[in-house]
Amino acid sequence: MVDPEAHVFLIRSIRRRLILLFSVALVLILLLGAAGLQGLLWHLEAVNDLDFLLHASPDQDRLSRAVSRIGESLHTRLDPRKPGASAELSKSCEGCILKAQEELFEFRRRIEHLPFQSENDLRQRAMALGRLDAVYGELYQLRQLNAQIPGAAADPELSSFRDLQHRCGLAIAQIQRTLDTLPAWQTRHWLQQSQKREHDRSATLLQIVSWSTTVGIVAFATTLTFALRWISGPLREIARGCTRIANGDTSYRLSQISKVQDEFADVVAGVNCMADRFQQSEEDLQQKVRERSDQLLRSQRLANVGFLAAGVAHEINNPLSAISMAAEAVEMRLCQRDDADSTDAREILRRVAMIRRESLRCGEITARLLDFSRADRGQRSTVDLAQLIREVLDMVRHLGKFSDRTIEFECERIITAEVSEAQIRQVILNLVANGLQATQPGGLVRVRLQEQVDTVIVAVEDNGCGMDAETQQQVFDPFFSNQQSGRGTGLGLSIIHRIVEDHGGTVTPFSAGTGQGSTFHVRLPRRARRSSAA
């Protein structure tokens, strides 16, 4: 049985799965290659056997034909009684005998070099060599008989020649019988053995190739199935999930695809994390769109109020000036009368002074309305914001009514931005003053300055009365104020908002609720826009 832990270890990661599949493929390739290599080796052996049959095996038929040609040379139609015929016959027979001896020596040499290993083969070779010695003796006898041909041919009746032919025939027949008793080493025997051996090898190789092909097909189908199950299927599921998320369904999450903690599990976790980030980014983007929309509406309201304030201030300023001058003239006339010390005169003087004082206050309000409507961008220059904040805080600390509050600011570095120094000084002053007014005696106002790559953030934080959600929505509206004294005009934060927007920045209020304090974040670009700088 397969150990489950070992099985899990083999498929724990995609790399191990691929290694396993490639190992199976490699084994198949090696099996088929081994079968092919074995076939080539057997083919090489067959070629060697063929070469042995042609060039190295003992050829008994060839030796037998050489011996037979001796007899053929003796039984020629040439009449030995003719002059020179016996010598020619003896020479021809001598050549055949020498040729037969050469074939005998070659036959003996090949027998001696046969690759025999068994005891029976060695005994047969020794017996064959002894019989070949006898054949050699018969050939030697034929040579002696051949030397007697000229003398036998001198007999007119040719009886001696016929007897010599008969004796040579007997010697040749004896040689043929001796050759026939040799072991079966002739070419036909070796050819039959080689054919039988190659046939058996071919059948074996065919079985090996058949089984290897069958095993290869089964293993290939199994490998393909596991590849689709382990790799293609999970990839398809991940691709389908990614397409769904890419099409806008950021709430969709991939399910667990693999049962083990492999690369697919890491990819699923990464895609789900990416989807979480996409969803969070989408929510943040929607929140920013809402904030920008609110800022756009607020800017539009401020622009409308600016146009209205400019007209109202222009129309009211002249009557207010007339009222103030008339009140001052009446006050001077009353002071010059003889009954100026009477009770009625003092009451009239008090009322006239109140008219003049309130008209001056209205004049200040109209002046601020005019400042709000003008949207003066001022001259932009590179300003050390840290030093500017220190100067504003030093000025505020000397105000006696805020001496019981604590103001904190620590920044030893130089942080610069291209802004209008007067306007940003007004922004810092108004925010710090609002923070001090929102706190009780013993309260704390903390100013933080943070530098980023392209922006600078000024945060003014207090631990005062805080703001609810409705107040945070309306805090930049003109004439909105929550001061209990009723002395505020409600234009300070609106002017701050306009100045910051003119600089290409944003101002954002934060508060955890009533009584939880407030924080205003002012984000300013470090470089002025070209349109603003112009």
pLDDT tens digits, 386-420: 899 888 888 887 766 777 888 888 787 888 899 88
According to DSSP, residue 400 is labeled G
Task: Give pLDDT tens digits for 32-47.
Answer: 787 778 777 777 777 7
> What mean pLDDT comes out for the span 275-290?
77
pLDDT of residue 55: 67
* pLDDT at residue 534, rounded to an integer: 38
Would you tell me which CATH number, out of the four given (3.30.565.10, 3.30.413.10, 3.40.50.10320, 3.40.50.1820), belongs to the domain 377-534?
3.30.565.10
Rg, Å, the chain Cα set: 63
Q: Provide the pLDDT for residue 447.
A: 92
Identify the pLDDT of residue 530: 58
In b/e form, how buried is each residue of 353-376, taking b as 16+ CB within 10 angstroms?
eebbeebeebbebbebbbbbbeee
Q: How confident is the model at residue 457 (pLDDT cuts 50, 70, 90)?
A: very high
In the structure, what pLDDT confidence band is assigned to residue 179 with cuts at 50, 70 and 90?
confident
CA distances, 316 to each of 155, 310, 328, 433, 508 (Å): 180, 10, 18, 29, 33
> Looking at the predicted structure, is the pLDDT value of residue 472 above 50?
yes
Rounded to an integer, the average pLDDT of 359-376 is 63
Q: How far is 449 from 523, CA to CA, in rounded Å? A: 10
More confident residue, 346 or 466: 466
Q: Which CATH number does the domain 283-374 belong to among 1.10.287.130, 2.40.50.140, 1.10.20.10, 1.20.1250.20? A: 1.10.287.130
Least confident of 60-64, 310-314, 325-329, 352-356: 310-314
**Average model confidence (pLDDT) across the chain:** 76
* CATH match of 58-184 with 1.10.40: no
For residue 281, pLDDT over 70 is answered with: yes
- Return the minimum-mean-pLDDT range out of 28-32, 91-95, 317-321: 317-321
Distance between CA 49 and CA 319 in Å, rounded? 134
**Structure confidence at residue 195 (pLDDT):** 72
Buried/exposed code over 102-121 (b: 16+ C-beta within 10 A; e: otherwise): ebbeebbebbeebeeeeeee
**What mean pLDDT is predicted for residues 183-187?**
59
Residue 452: is its pLDDT beyond 50?
A: yes
- Quote the pLDDT of residue 197: 75
Q: What is the DSSP letter of 439?
A: S
> Does residue 5 carry a pLDDT above 60?
no
Torsion sign, CA atoms 363, 369, 373, 374:
positive
Q: What is the pLDDT averaged over residues 3-17?
A: 55
- With 50 as the cut, is the pLDDT of residue 205 above it? yes
Q: Count of H helices and E strands in the chain?
A: 16, 7
**Measured distance CA(488)–CA(227) in Å, rounded:** 76
Token readout for 300 is: 């539009």
pLDDT above 70 as % of the chain:
73
CA gap 202, 206 in Å, rounded: 6
Look up residue 402 and give its DSSP letter.
G
pLDDT at 458: 92
More confident residue, 244 or 99: 99
Q: What is the mean pLDDT of residues 242-256?
A: 78
Each domain of the chain, given as residue ranges in start order, spans 1-55+188-252, 58-184, 283-374, 377-534
CA distance linking residue 17 with residue 14, whole number of Å: 5
- pLDDT for the residue 2: 44
